[in-house]
Structure 1
Amino acid sequence: MIEGYVGRESVTAGEVLRLHVSTDAEEFRVRFHRLGRELAPMGESGPYPGVLTAPPPHPDGVPEHASPAADWEFPAYEFAVPEEWPPGIYLAHLVPGDERAARSVPVLGDDDIEGFAREFFVVRPRHPGSHGRILYKKSTFTRHAYNRSDNEGAVRDSNLYENPVYQEGGDGEPRGHKLSMRRPGGVIDLAWWDAPFIAWLERSGYAVEYCTDLDLHEDPHLLAPYDLLLSVGHDEYWSDAMRDQVAAYVSGGGNVAFLSANTCWWRVHLTDGNTAFVSDTDHRVGEDYPHLPATDLWWPPPPEGVGRPENTLTGVTFRNGGMWPGEWPGDRPREGYTVQHADHWVFEGTGLRDGGDGGPPDRLGAGTALIGYECDGAAFAYDEHGVARASGVDGTPESFLILGIYLLDPVHENFHHLKWGHWNCPEREPAITSPRAATMGIHTAGGTVFTAGTVDWPVVCGRELDAGVVRVTRNVLDRLSHRVTEEPGGSAGR
C-alpha cells in the first residue's frame, strides 16, 4: 500500500517539490511524467525510506472514515525540480518496493493517468509569460472538494459531500465545512477533463503556462503577463481574491475563456496557512440536510449568500443550467447547441448556419455528449424572430450574446429533480426567471469573456469528437490570446 499528496500543488522550475507519502513498503520510488501530446516520462527519484502513517480519525467515529478537515501529516520527501523542465501539469507516480519490485511496475501511459498512488502538480516557469501568453488554471479547489481520500482497498468516503466536517467558526475562523488540501486520494478529474485537452493544446501548437487556484488566490499580479486565462472542466469553488483578480484582469483588457461549467458556484475561505479552506455550503451538518442558509453561495444577496452573482463575470450560472442525473459522467442526449449568430467570428470556418435562410439551424456538437455533465445558462427570452436573447434579470451583462443554446426542460422533463441546477434554488428564487438552458456565449467588459456553458467542452474538443467544437475552440484561442479588445455594445467583433 502506498499513497501520498504534495505539500503544495505548484512549484517553480528549479525549486523544491515536497511529496508527503505513507507506505507499508520498506522503500519507494517516484516516477515523474508530464502531460502533453502524450504522457511523457521525465525521470525517477529515490529510493526513499517508507513510513506508514495512520490517517486522522473522522469526528463521526466511524473507523472506515478519515477526517477530510485535518492535515494528514504524512512524512515529507523533497525533490529538486530541474530548471529545464518546461511549464506544465506533471504526474508523480508512487512506486513501492525495492528496485527489483519497481522494475516490475509498468511505466504509465496515456491510458493510465487515472488511479491511486498518483498525484499531480503544476510546474511554473521562472519568468512568467516567457513560454506563452495563455494561462491555464487547474481547478484545484474543486478537485479537493470532491476528493474522498480513497485508496486501493480503502473507501473512506470523506470530502465536502460524503461525511463532511462542519465548524461553527469564531475567533477568526470562518463558519462552514472545512477541508484540508493535504490529503491523498489519487487522480480522477485530471484524466477526464485536463489530459485530453492539454494533449490537444500541444498538438495544435499553443504555448501555454499553468497555475492552480491557490496561485491565483495568493498572487494579485499573477495574471499580468498573460493575454488569456483558461478555466477548464469543473471549476466550482472560488475565493474572493480569485474573483477580484479575474474581474480586474478583464476590466483591464484581459480575456477569459470559460471552457467549464458549474463555475464559481461556492465561495471558499483559505485557512491553516492556505493549506485548507472552509465553505458554508448546503451539505450535511450532522443530521441536518440540506443545511441552510448556505451563506457561501455566490449569487443570493446577503445574509443568504455572498451577493455577487457568478454570471456577472462569466455570463452564465448553474442555477439556470443543471446537472445530468445518474452516475458521473453519465450518458445524456447528444443534440448539441442550437447555433445563433453564425456570422460571428467564433463560428468562422465551421460552415455552421443559424437558420436565417429559413431552414433549420445547425447544432454544434451534435452526436456527442457535449451538453453536461453539468452546464450553466443565462436567463433569456425569445425575440420576435425566435432568437434567444439574454434578459439580464439574473445579473448577466447586457453585452452577453447567446451563440448556442440547448433547452433542458422541454427535452427532458426529468432532467433533474432539482430546479435550476441546484435543489435550493426554488426556495431562494421561487419565481421562474427563465427556461433552463445550457448556454454558450460571449460578452465584453474591457476584455472579452467567452463561456462554453458545459463542463465537457474540453473532452469533446480534446478528443476531437466534433469538428465544429474544435474550430470554435481554435477561433477563441487564436483571437483572445492577443488581448484583442472588442468593440463596446455587445458586438464582440461580429
Structure 2
Amino acid sequence: MIEGYMGRESVVAGRSLTFHVSTDADEFRVRFYRLGGELAFVAESGPYPGELRNPPPHPDGVTAHASPAVDWDWPPHDVPIPDGWRPGVYLAHFVEGDDRRAAATPLLTDADIEGYAREFFIVRPSNPGRTARILYKKSTFTRHAYNRSDREDVQRASSFYDHPVYQDGGQARPAGHQLSMHRPGGVIDLAYWDAPFIAWLERGGYDVEYCTDLDLHEEPDLLTPYRLFLSVGHDEYWSAAMRAHVAAFVRAGGNAAFFSANTCWWRVHLTDGNTAFVSDTDHHVGDVYPHLPATDQWWPAAPDGVGAPENALTGVSFRNGGMWPGEWPGDRPRAGYRVQHADHWVYAGTGLRDGSDGGTPDALGAGTALIGYECDGAAFTRDAAGIAHATGADGTPTSFLILGIYLLDPVNEDFHQLRTGHWNCPVREPGNTGPRAATMGLYTAGGTVFTAGTTDWPVVCGHELDAGVVRVTRNVLDRLAGPAPAGGDAGTRETAGRDAERRVTAGP
C-alpha cells in the first residue's frame, strides 16, 4: 500500500519538489512522467525510506471518514527538478518496495494516467514566456474541492461534497467549509479533461506553459509575458486575486479563452500559509446547511453573495446554464451548438452555415457529447429572425456576441435532457423565468475573451471527435495567441526533448 500528495503542485525547473508519502513498505521510489503527445517516462527517483501514517480523524466523528479540513502531515521528501525538464504537466507515480519489486512494476502508459498512488504537478520555466505565448491554468482548487481522499481499497469520501467540515471562522479566518490541499486522492480530472487536450496542443505544435490556481493567486504579474490565458475543463473555484489578475490582464490587452464551464462559481479564501482554503458554499453538513445563503457565490448581490457576477469576466455563468443530472460524466444530448454568425473568424474554415440563406442552421459538435456535463450561459433574447442576443441583464458585457447556443429544457430528470441551472438559482431568483442555454461566444474589452460555455469542449477537441470543434479551437488559439511556430514537426521536437529528459536521473 502506498499513497501520497504534493507539498505544492508546481515547481520552477532547477528547484526542489516536495512530496509526502505514506506506505507500509520499507522503501519506495517515484517515477516521473510528462504529459505530452503521449505519456513519456522522464526519470526515477529514490529509494526513500517508507513510513506508514494514518489520516486525521473526521472532526464530526464520522466513522471511517478522514478529515478533509486539515493537513495530513505525512513524511516529506525532496527531489531536485533539473533545469533541463521542459515546462509541462507531470505525473508522479509512487512505487512501493525494493529494486526487485520496482523492476516488476511496468511503466505507465496513456491508459494509466487515472488512478491511485500517483499525483500530478507542473514544471514551470525559469524564464517564463520566452518562447510560449500561451499560459494554461490547471484548475487545482476545483480538483481539491472534489478530491475524496480515497485510496484504491478505502472509500474515505471526504471533500467539499462528501462529509465536509464547516468552521465558524474568527481571528481573520473566514467562516465556511474548510479544505486542506495536503491530502492524497490520486488522479481523476486530469486524465479526463486535461490529458487529451494537452496531447492535442502538443501534436499541433503549440508551445504552451502551465500554472496552477495557486500560482495565479499569488503572482500578480504571472500573465504579463503571455498573449493568451487558458481555462480548461471544470474550473469552479476561484479566489478574488485570481479573478483580479485575469481581469487586469484582459483590460491591458491580453486575451483569454475559457474552454471550460461552471467557471468561477465559488470564491475561495486561502488559509494556512496557502496550503488550504475556505469557501462559504451551499454544501450540507449531515442533514443541515450550516449557513444559507452561501456568501461566497460570485453573482448574488452582497451581503448574500460576493456581488460580482462571474460573467462580467467570462461572458457566461452556470446561473444561466445547466448540468447533466445523472452520473458523471454520463451520456448526454448530442445536438451540438446552433450556429450563429457563421461568417465570423471563429468559424473560418469550418464550412458551417447559420441559416441566413434560408436553410436550417448547422450545429457545431453535432453527434458528440459536447454540451455538458456542465455548461454556462448568458441571459439572452431573440430577434425576429430567431438570432439570440445577450441582454447584459445578468452582468454579461453588452458587446458579448453569441456564436453558438443550445437551449436547455425545463428542469426534469428525463434521461434525454440536461437540467437547467443550480438548485439555489431559482431560490435566489424566483422571478427569473427567462430561457437558459449553453452559450458559446466572445467579447472584446481591451483584450478578447472567448468562452466555449461547456466543460467537455477539451474532451471533444482533444480526442478530435468533431472537425468543426477542432477548427474553431485552432482559430481561437491562432487569432488570440498567434500561429503555432514554424520550423519542424511537433512530434519530432517532442521526441528529441523526451530523449534528453531520459538522460536525467533524479536523486533523493
Q: Give the TM-score of the pair, scaled to structure 2.
A: 0.93
Q: Distance in 1 between matches of 2:180 and 2:410?
A: 41
Q: Distance in 2 between matches of 1:366 and 1:116?
A: 35
Q: Distance in 1 between matches of 2:36 and 2:170?
A: 45
The answer to whether the Cα contact below 8 Å between 2:409 and 2:420 also exists between their aligned partners in 1 is no
**Counterpart residue type for residue 122 of structure 1:** I
**Counterpart residue type for residue 302 of structure 1:** A
Choose 200-209 or 55-64, whichever is displaced more. 55-64
Choose 419-428 or 292-301, whichever is displaced more. 419-428
The answer to whether the Cα contact below 8 Å between 2:411 and 2:420 also exists between their aligned partners in 1 is no
Residue 187 (structure 1) aligned with residue 197 (structure 2): no
Task: Tell me by how many angstroms 1:445 deviates.
Answer: 1.0
Choose 122-131 or 431-440, whichever is displaced more. 431-440
**Which whole-Å deviations, capped at 9, do the CAs of 1:127-185 have from their partners, x for residues lacking one?**
01013010000000000000000001110000001000000011111000000000000
The answer to whether the Cα contact below 8 Å between 1:285 and 1:291 also exists between their aligned partners in 2 is no
**Counterpart residue type for residue 106 of structure 1:** P
**Counterpart residue type for residue 177 of structure 2:** H
Q: Distance in 2 between matches of 1:290 and 1:475?
A: 46
Q: Distance in 1 between matches of 2:322 and 2:94?
A: 37
Equivalent residue for 1:255? 255
Equivalent residue for 1:100? 100
Equivalent residue for 1:442? 442
Q: Secondary structure at the match of 2:42?
A: strand
Give the percent of matched residue pairs that are identical in Structure 1 and Structure 2.
75
Equivalent residue for 1:303? 303
Q: Distance in 1 between matches of 2:419 and 2:138?
A: 29
**Counterpart residue type for residue 145 of structure 1:** A
Q: Distance in 2 between matches of 1:436 and 1:422?
A: 11
Q: Distance in 1 between matches of 2:124 and 2:47?
A: 26
Task: Tell me by how many angstroms 1:421 deviates.
Answer: 1.8
Q: Secondary structure at the match of 2:448?
A: strand
The answer to whether the Cα contact below 8 Å between 2:368 and 2:466 also exists between their aligned partners in 1 is yes
Could you say if the C-alpha distance between residues 417 and 68 of structure 1 is closer, same or farther in structure 2, counting changes exceeding 3 Å?
farther
**Counterpart residue type for residue 444 of structure 2:** T
**Which whole-Å deviations, capped at 9, do the CAs of 1:365-405 have from their partners, x for residues lacking one?**
00000000000001101101110001111111010000000
Q: Distance in 2 between matches of 1:287 and 1:169?
A: 21
Could you say if the C-alpha distance between residues 318 and 159 of structure 1 is closer, same or farther in structure 2, counting changes exceeding 3 Å?
same
Q: Distance in 2 between matches of 1:443 and 1:260?
A: 16
Q: Distance in 1 between matches of 2:381 and 2:416?
A: 22
Q: Distance in 1 between matches of 2:338 and 2:441?
A: 12
Q: Secondary structure at the match of 2:250?
A: helix
**Counterpart residue type for residue 339 of structure 1:** V
Q: Distance in 2 between matches of 1:294 and 1:459?
A: 31
Task: Tell me by how many angstroms 1:63 deviates.
Answer: 3.3
**Which whole-Å deviations, capped at 9, do the CAs of 1:293-337 have from their partners, x for residues lacking one?**
100000000111000000000000001101101110001110100
**Counterpart residue type for residue 470 of structure 2:** V
Q: Distance in 2 between matches of 1:303 and 1:445?
A: 28
Q: Secondary structure at the match of 1:357?
A: coil
Equivalent residue for 2:15? 15
Task: Tell me by how many angstroms 1:289 deviates.
Answer: 3.3
Calculate the aligned-residue CA RMSD, in Å: 1.6
Q: Secondary structure at the match of 2:93?
A: strand
**Which whole-Å deviations, capped at 9, do the CAs of 1:177-199 have from their partners, x for residues lacking one?**
00000000000000000000000
Q: Give the TM-score of the pair, scaled to structure 1.
A: 0.96
Equivalent residue for 2:393? 393
1:95-494 equivalences in 2 (<5 Å): 95-289=95-289, 291-409=291-409, 414=414, 420-432=420-432, 434-482=434-482
Q: Secondary structure at the match of 1:282?
A: coil
The answer to whether the Cα contact below 8 Å between 2:340 and 2:404 also exists between their aligned partners in 1 is yes
The answer to whether the Cα contact below 8 Å between 1:29 and 1:94 also exists between their aligned partners in 2 is yes
**Which whole-Å deviations, capped at 9, do the CAs of 1:12-40 have from their partners, x for residues lacking one?**
00100001000000000000000000000
**Which whole-Å deviations, capped at 9, do the CAs of 1:30-55 have from their partners, x for residues lacking one?**
00000000000001001101000110
Equivalent residue for 2:64? 64
Equivalenced residue count is: 483
Bigger relative CO (Cα 8 Å, ≥ 6 apart): 2
Q: Distance in 2 between matches of 1:108 and 1:218?
A: 33
Q: Distance in 2 between matches of 1:417 and 1:431?
A: 23
Q: Distance in 1 between matches of 2:226 and 2:6?
A: 26
Q: Secondary structure at the match of 2:214?
A: helix
Q: Secondary structure at the match of 2:444?
A: strand
Which consecutive segments of 4 or more residues in structure 1 shift more than 2 A? 410-420
For structure 1, list consecutive stretches of 5 or more residues without a partner in the other structure: 484-494
Choose 210-219 or 402-411, whichever is displaced more. 402-411
Could you say if the C-alpha distance between residues 312 and 54 of structure 1 is closer, same or farther in structure 2, counting changes exceeding 3 Å?
same
Task: Tell me by how many angstroms 1:432 deviates.
Answer: 2.0
Task: Tell me by how many angstroms 1:3 deviates.
Answer: 0.4
**Counterpart residue type for residue 125 of structure 1:** P
Could you say if the C-alpha distance between residues 168 and 70 of structure 1 is closer, same or farther in structure 2, counting changes exceeding 3 Å?
same
**Counterpart residue type for residue 332 of structure 1:** R
Q: Distance in 2 between matches of 1:309 and 1:4?
A: 37
For structure 2, list consecutive stretches of 5 or more residues without a partner in the other structure: 484-508
Equivalent residue for 2:495? none
Q: Secondary structure at the match of 1:205?
A: coil
The answer to whether the Cα contact below 8 Å between 1:125 and 1:131 also exists between their aligned partners in 2 is no
Choose 412-421 or 32-41, whichever is displaced more. 412-421
**Counterpart residue type for residue 391 of structure 2:** S
Task: Tell me by how many angstroms 1:414 deviates.
Answer: 4.6
Q: Secondary structure at the match of 1:328?
A: coil
**Counterpart residue type for residue 244 of structure 1:** A
Q: Distance in 2 between matches of 1:178 and 1:266?
A: 13
The answer to whether the Cα contact below 8 Å between 1:419 and 1:426 also exists between their aligned partners in 2 is no
Choose 109-118 or 277-286, whichever is displaced more. 277-286
Q: Secondary structure at the match of 1:470?
A: helix
Q: Distance in 2 between matches of 1:421 and 1:101?
A: 50
Could you say if the C-alpha distance between residues 362 and 417 of structure 1 is closer, same or farther in structure 2, counting changes exceeding 3 Å?
closer
